[in-house]
Homo-oligomer: A and B are copies of this chain.
């Protein structure tokens, strides 16, 4: 995965600042990959990059702020994979199937194939960082939008409260979004996301 600072807030102070932020994020990612996120301090990072600690603090208020950018980039990549898969697909059941299967495949790839991201992802999930909260909120929203569209099209039942039902469906998905829980649930069998989708789809069936 290429690292960019796309998720960093744009402070409008021009490309020079943007370049320094990018440089810090890239160096931090490389450093974390060797020494781990948990054990690295901002001082270690400053030494490794050749910047002063004070200079780094001009751009990022803490180690977590740097981790947040890396984490947000990673979650942003998973979301882009899902949205790319949904592009042009109209039928709500098929959109739900793609959400379940693509989000799990993409999370497995990003959290576990790129091991350097895993420790940051675990810290972010365990402490529920703002980037994680925002990501979970958007995925929950996406689930609700798909169910709402399915109800409007008459392919999903409309007898249950939308909020409760979308929360329950989101809840089935949650163990597969979290890097701590994912290895424990994905080990079950490769078809887990598809099987869960089929169960959820039956639960959404309109009365015959």
Chain A residues at the B interface, C-beta cutoff of 8 Å: 125, 157, 160, 164-165, 167-169, 171-172, 174-175, 178, 180-181, 184-185, 188-189, 192, 195-196, 198-200, 202-205, 207-208
> How far apart are A60's CB and chain B's nearest CB, in angstroms?
27
Residue of A125, A184, A196, A205 with most partner-chain B CB within 10 A: A184
Please tell me if the beta carbons of A171 and B200 are within 8 angstroms of each other in the complex.
no
| Distance between Cα atoms of A136 and B157 in the complex (Å) | 33
> Are B171 and A188 in contact, with the CB atoms below 8 A?
yes
Say whether A185 contacts B174, CB under 8 Å.
yes
User: How far is A181 from B188 in the complex, measured between Cα atoms in Å?
Assistant: 14
Q: Which residues of B contact A198 (CB under 8 A)?
A: 164, 168
Copies in the complex: 2
26 A-B pairs in the complex with CB atoms less than 8 angstroms apart: A157-B202, A160-B202, A164-B198, A165-B199, A167-B189, A167-B195, A168-B198, A169-B199, A171-B192, A171-B195, A171-B196, A172-B199, A174-B175, A174-B184, A174-B185, A175-B175, A175-B181, A180-B180, A181-B181, A181-B184, A199-B200, A199-B203, A200-B203, A202-B202, A202-B203, A203-B203
Most B CB within 10 A of own CB, among A165, A168, A188, A198: A168
Q: Are B168 and A175 in touch, CB under 8 angstroms?
A: no
Tell me, in angstroms, the Cα distance from A165 to B165 when the chains sit together. Answer: 20
CB distance from A194 to the nearest CB of B (A): 9
Residue of B nearest to A176 (CB): B175
Nearest B residue (CB) for A180: B184
Extra pairs beyond A174-B175, A200-B203 (8, CB < 8 Å): A164-B198, A167-B189, A171-B195, A172-B172, A174-B184, A174-B188, A180-B180, A208-B208
B175 A185 Cβ-Cβ under 8 A: yes
**Least distance between A83 CB and chain B CB atoms (Å):** 24
Task: Determine the chain B residues whose CB is within 8 A of the CB of A125 once the complex forms.
Answer: 184
Residues of B within 8 A of A200 (CB): 199, 203
A131 to chain B, nearest CB (A): 17
